[in-house]
Amino acid sequence: MSTMNEIYESHLYPSDRIVPVDFEAVRTAPESYVWPKSDVFSSGEQSSVPVIDLMDPNATEHIRQALETWGVFQLLNHGISSSLIEEVENEIRRLFALPAQQKLKVLRSTHGSTGYGLPRIAKNFSQHLWHEGFTVMGSPVDHARKLWPHDYERFCDVMENYQKAMKGLAERLIRLIFLSLGICDEEIRWLGSSDDSGSNNITAALQLNSYPPCPDPDDGQVMGLGPHTDTSLITILRQGDINGLEIFKDGVGWILVPPLAGAFVVNLGDLFQILSNARFRSVIHRAVVNGTRQRYSFAYFYDPPMDFVLSPFCNGLNSGQAPRYRSMTVKDYISVKFNNFMTALSSIEI
Ligand SMILES: C=C1C[C@]23C[C@@]1(O)CC[C@H]2[C@@]12CCC[C@@](C)(C(=O)O1)[C@H]2[C@@H]3C(=O)O
Ligand SMILES: O=C(O)CCC(=O)C(=O)O
Ligand SMILES: [Fe+2]
């Protein structure tokens, strides 16, 4: 059984795209951080992504419709306690407030998947990203001990509790989406098969994102996280109360996803696009930075087991349709994505 860590270990990541800028020393964005105006243009579109109440008796149908038209929705009444979310927010602030030298002690390695650093997509853009992140898979204890030798347990407990809660919510949503499409329980036996008590079986990641204020983003020409799709099956994102997340809608352009108190932003990733034979799309999104306030967000990415063979579900979903993607394991798709980034899905089309 392959693990997520092993897959990332086999892909050497360029060392010059891991270390974030020293935000204590560099207060205005250097030229290498400035994106062309045409790339950052926002549509100003007012219509916004659907908001769904999970307690609504018709929630399943609303989710299916939202995913077919938008690929993303905001979720309320999800059952995750606000105190747990606040604890995560407090730990994120504590982490990113540490001096740069301290954070660099847990820098992600060129073969690594967890720790501090720029997001993995940084290598795909010629411009730099105004961002610092920290990736957790399972227990973050080894890193937490280095950051807070005498006070690391709180961070670990909070991150582990949150991952457990997210795993439950992700599996609930996935089951509900599949069943609404007529995919039977038999075909989703793998759901819930991973076990987060042992680090060998983890197929999920928690990404903590920090976007320090960028004093000169008048034209929004500095990017926190460049345009991307998530590789995951499903992503559950919590954004604070500061604007930043935008999605790309065909025929419209970039649309803001306004922060909504208490809500999670839920989107499908590439793996769901493959399984659904492109009935559901993996939404393109990005995060822009704020001129005066530091923005935080945290995203939970849920994947099937790494050896799971992704084959489009053609019968239940799009009856009689031919598969649009060739079958491959999750780990092979992660390799394809590493080498092809935004063309990964089209490169596996039949
Ligand atoms: C499971 C994962 C998805 C992710 C790569 C990772 O191993 C952990 C970090 C995740 C993240 C977060 C920011 C955007 C993103 C594209 C990136 O560069 O790192 C995603 C990755 C992904 O979806 O491929
Ligand atoms: O910060 C955000 O709003 C977006 C984060 C994101 O897209 C990610 O972590 O993959
Ligand atoms: Fe994302």
Give the residue, out of 209, 223, 283, with the most ligand 2 atoms within 8 A of its beta carbon, to mutate for a pocket test: 209
Q: Is the pLDDT of residue 297 over 50?
A: yes
Write the single-letter amino acid at 340: N
Ligand 2 proximity of 287 Cβ (cutoff 6 Å): yes
Determine contact, residues 107/15, Cβ cutoff 8 Å. Answer: no
Determine contact, residues 323/189, Cβ cutoff 8 Å. Answer: no
Determine contact, residues 139/160, Cβ cutoff 8 Å. Answer: yes
Mean pLDDT of 194-209: 73
Share of the chain above pLDDT 70, in %: 94
State how far the Cα of 213 lies from the Cα of 104, in Å rounded to an integer: 20
Determine contact, residues 211/291, Cβ cutoff 8 Å. Answer: no
Tokens of 131: 């961002």
Query: Known catalytic residues?
Result: 295
Nearest atom in ligand 2 to the alpha carbon of residue 257 is 3
**How high does pLDDT run on average in the chain?**
91
Give the pLDDT confidence of 146-179 residue by residue, as tens digits: 999 999 999 999 999 999 999 999 999 999 998 8
What's this model's pTM, rounded to 2 decimal places? Answer: 0.96
Determine contact, residues 225/119, Cβ cutoff 8 Å. Answer: yes
State how far the Cα of 126 lies from the Cα of 243, in Å rounded to an integer: 25
**The dihedral sign for the CA sequence 168, 285, 230, 273:** positive
Question: What pLDDT, on the 0 to 100 scale, is given for residue 329?
Answer: 96
Measure 245 CA to ligand 2 centroid, in angstroms: 7
Question: What pLDDT, on the 0 to 100 scale, is given for residue 176?
Answer: 93
Question: What pLDDT, on the 0 to 100 scale, is given for residue 198?
Answer: 47
Give the pLDDT confidence of 78-117 residue by residue, as tens digits: 999 999 999 999 999 999 999 999 999 999 999 999 999 9
Q: Could you give the angle at the alpha carbon of 76 between the alpha carbons of 60 and 130, nearest 5°? A: 115
* Beta-sheet strand order (sheet of 285-288): 223-228, 285-288, 245-249, 253-256
Tokens of 319: 């009856």
Q: How far is CA 300 from CA 108, 166, 236, 237, in A?
A: 18, 7, 5, 6
**178: number of Cβ within 10 Å:** 21
57 or 216: whose pLDDT is higher?
Answer: 57
Q: Is the pLDDT of residue 194 over 70?
A: no
Q: Which of these ranges, 191-200, 279-288, 328-337, has the smallest mean pLDDT? A: 191-200
ipTM beyond 0.90? yes
Q: Which CATH class is domain 4-306?
A: mainly beta
Give the residue, out of 118, 285, 341, with the most ligand 2 atoms within 8 A of its beta carbon, to mutate for a pocket test: 285
SS3 81: coil
Ligand 2 proximity of 3 Cβ (cutoff 6 Å): no
Question: What pLDDT, on the 0 to 100 scale, is given for residue 233?
Answer: 96
Question: What pLDDT, on the 0 to 100 scale, is given for residue 197?
Answer: 52
Q: How far is CA 56 from CA 67, 76, 153, 180, in A?
A: 17, 10, 38, 15
Question: What pLDDT, on the 0 to 100 scale, is given for residue 316?
Answer: 55
| Domains of the chain, residue spans | 4-306
Write the single-letter amino acid at 217: P
Mean pLDDT of 289-315: 91
State how far the Cα of 311 lies from the Cα of 315, in Å rounded to an integer: 11
Please give the backbone phi and psi of residue 287, each rounded to the nearest 5 degrees, phi first: -130, 125
Nearest atom in ligand 2 to the alpha carbon of residue 301 is 10
DSSP structural state of residue 276: T
Give the H or E element holding residue 75.
strand 72-76
316 or 244: whose pLDDT is higher?
Answer: 244
Give the pLDDT confidence of 218-276 residue by residue, as tens digits: 566 899 999 999 999 999 999 999 999 999 999 899 999 999 999 999 999 999 999 99
Interaxial angle between packed helices 153-180 and 82-96, expressed in degrees from 0 to 180 and rounded to the nearest 10: 130
